[in-house]
């Protein structure tokens, strides 16, 4: 099904401004201020193209990746980069004012827009088109873009992205992944794109008609190692590349117009920019245990011919390693958000639920599970912040990303499982969201790529 959409109608249709809407507007205004500042207009040379959005559905889909706009190749100057954040040398858990404002805006958006439809979106294996439009209005794809290219944040923004990711996943993880998927591509271009790549693609991500886009790393094989890829890139005579292989669990795969794809080049993993309309790109719906609202798809690459300019980050192994680490931090942030949703849900439940003549929370066996959820959740959150803040300052963060990953895989899942357990049989049925969080949290410890902070 193809749908056209008008982006500005989505918000506040009934004209009834809640507090949530107001603070969302506040976040928007701030973003607009940044967005309107610098050279964005210079780059606004985009040809508006018909945007066909394929909705994944329960029934599945199979499509050639022929959708999407024409990204006219442009020449750019030197690539722009967000400068590293400065350190004031103090231990501090206080977000900056800008971060606080964004967290509030995205937090309100998550609670008022994502949370209420999370169950339906999980069932539909799709996020509503209007919702995705609304989220681009909030500027998700502008966070990781350098300011001089129309980005929203003047310094390296891993902490900002982490906080936003956590806030969105507090509403719903699957929808958060759907909302943030294009931001992974704009962040990748912001971090590693050369001048031409940034000039060609980034204006689209800071404009009004933001393309759906996705970062594809995962491959359908057990014990997947993102540093040893089956997807192969070979060099062509003209300096370009040919890609062959299969990527799994690609979010919004069917509607994505642009991909960043991990493939092996000369025995080392590298990243490639692939427009979905390129010949040989195929997509099949691949619903999974959870994060179903992200409309995950299998992406097949059959002799996909790419120009020389498709190689992102010069095939530098350090770039690829950074990409994997930033992805793991993002999944840890998602687990922190969903873990918080579990904690928020079980506390009133165990206080209300009566057994043997008193609330079940009066039993240590129940109460201690709640304590442990809180302890391990806070551990995940802090480890994730540490990894992200090191990334912002340009410090090595391989150890910290691995730690956030490990805590997410172990305790994130434990929190999901305990959430169901605390509700007993009621936790197992769809009347309560804990079964969905159980399914979603399994993803957070095993997924690679998809999102970047």
Partner 1 sequence: MINLETPKKFKPLISQANMVAQELLRPNSRKYDIAEHEYPVELDMLRSLIDGMEDGAAMGAGAAGVGKGGADGEKKKDDGGVKNGTNLSTALSIIEMCWGDAGLLLTMPGQGLGNSAIAAVANEEQLERFKGKWAAMAITEPEAGSDSASIRATAVKDGDHYILNGEKIFVTSGERADVVVVWANVDPSAGRAGIKSFVVERDNPGLKLDRLEHKLGIRASDTANFILQDCRVHENNLLGDPEVRTDKGFGGVMQTFDNTRPLVAAMALGCSRAALDETRKLLESAGFEIDYDKPSAHQPGCVAEFIELESDWEAALLLTMEAAWMADNRKPNSVQASMAKAKAGRSGTDITLRCVKLAGSVGYSENELLEKWSRDSKILDIFEGTQQIQQLIIARQLLGKSSSELK
Binding site for partner 1 (CB under 8 A): 85, 87-96, 99, 159, 223-227, 321, 324-325, 347, 350-351, 359, 361-362, 364, 367-368, 370-372, 374-376, 378-380, 382-383, 385-386, 388-390, 393, 398-403, 406-407, 409-410
Nearest to 445 by CA among 323, 287, 335, 296: 335
Residue ranges with strand state E in 218-340: 232-235, 241-250, 258-265, 268-275, 281-285, 297-306, 311-312
Residue nearer to partner 1 on the CB measure, 375 or 429 = 375
Residue nearer to partner 1 on the CB measure, 225 or 303 = 225
Residue nearer to partner 1 on the CB measure, 127 or 434 = 434
Output phi, psi for 240, to 5 deg.
Answer: -85, -165
d(CA 239, CA 201): 21
Least gap, CB of 86 to partner 1 (angstroms): 8
Least gap, CB of 146 to partner 1 (angstroms): 20
Q: Which two tokens stand for residue 10?
A: 């989505």
Least gap, CB of 315 to partner 1 (angstroms): 17
Least gap, CB of 215 to partner 1 (angstroms): 17
Residue nearer to partner 1 on the CB measure, 91 or 356 = 91
CA-to-CA dists, residue 358 to 187, 312, 363, 371, 432, angstroms: 51, 60, 9, 19, 22
- 354-355 and 358-359 as β-strands: parallel, antiparallel, unpaired? antiparallel
The residues near 324 (Cβ < 8 Å, ≥ 6 apart) are 217, 226, 227, 448, 449
- 2-3 and 53-54 as β-strands: parallel, antiparallel, unpaired? antiparallel
Residue nearer to partner 1 on the CB measure, 315 or 374 = 374
Least gap, CB of 263 to partner 1 (angstroms): 18
Nearest to 288 by CA among 72, 161, 66, 450: 450
Least gap, CB of 403 to partner 1 (angstroms): 4
Residue nearer to partner 1 on the CB measure, 122 or 392 = 392
């Amino acid at each position: 099904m193809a749908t056209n959409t008008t982006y500005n109608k989505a918000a506040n249709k009934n004209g009834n401004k809640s507090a949530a809407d107001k603070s969302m507007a506040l976040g928007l205004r701030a973003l607009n201020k940044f967005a309107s500042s610098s050279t964005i207009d210079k780059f606004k040379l985009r040809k508006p193209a018909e945007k066909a959005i394929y909705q994944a559905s329960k029934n599945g889909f199979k499509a050639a990746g022929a959708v999407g706009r024409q990204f006219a190749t442009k020449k750019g100057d030197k690539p722009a980069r967000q400068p590293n954040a400065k350190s004031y040398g103090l231990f501090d858990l206080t977000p900056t004012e800008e971060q606080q404002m964004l967290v509030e805006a995205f937090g309100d958006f998550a609670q008022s827009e994502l949370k209420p439809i999370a169950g339906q979106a999980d069932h539909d294996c799709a996020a509503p088109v209007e919702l995705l439009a609304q989220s681009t209005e909030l500027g998700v794809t502008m966070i990781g873009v350098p300011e001089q290219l129309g980005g929203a944040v003047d310094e390296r923004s891993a902490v900002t992205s982490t906080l936003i990711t956590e806030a969105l996943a507090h509403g719903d993880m699957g929808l958060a992944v759907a909302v943030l998927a294009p931001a992974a591509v704009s962040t990748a271009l912001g971090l590693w794109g050369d001048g031409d790549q940034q000039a060609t693609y980034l204006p689209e991500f800071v404009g009004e008609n933001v393309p759906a886009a996705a970062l594809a790393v995962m491959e359908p094989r057990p014990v997947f190692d993102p540093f040893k890829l089956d997807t192969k890139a070979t060099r062509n005579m003209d300096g370009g590349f040919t890609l062959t292989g299969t990527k799994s669990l690609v979010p919004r795969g069917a509607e994505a117009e642009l991909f960043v794809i991990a493939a092996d080049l000369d025995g080392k993993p590298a990243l490639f920019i692939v427009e979905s309309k390129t010949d040989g790109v195929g997509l099949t719906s691949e619903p999974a245990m959870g994060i179903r609202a992200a409309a995950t798809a299998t992406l097949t690459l059959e002799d996909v011919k790419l120009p020389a300019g498709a190689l992102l980050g010069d095939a530098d192994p350090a770039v690829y390693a950074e990409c994997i680490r930033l992805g793991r931090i993002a999944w840890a942030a998602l687990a922190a958000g969903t873990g918080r949703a579990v904690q928020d849900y079980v506390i009133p439940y165990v206080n209300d639920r009566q057994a043997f003549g008193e609330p079940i929370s009066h039993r240590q066996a129940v109460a201690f599970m709640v304590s442990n959820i809180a302890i391990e959740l806070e551990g995940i959150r802090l480890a994730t912040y540490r990894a992200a803040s090191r990334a912002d300052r340009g410090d090595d963060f391989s150890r910290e990303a691995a730690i956030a990953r490990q805590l997410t895989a172990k305790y994130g899942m434990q929190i999901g499982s305990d959430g169901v357990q605390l509700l007993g049989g009621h936790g197992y049925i769809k009347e309560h969201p804990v079964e969905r969080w159980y399914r979603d949290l399994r993803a957070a410890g095993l997924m690679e790529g998809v999102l970047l902070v």
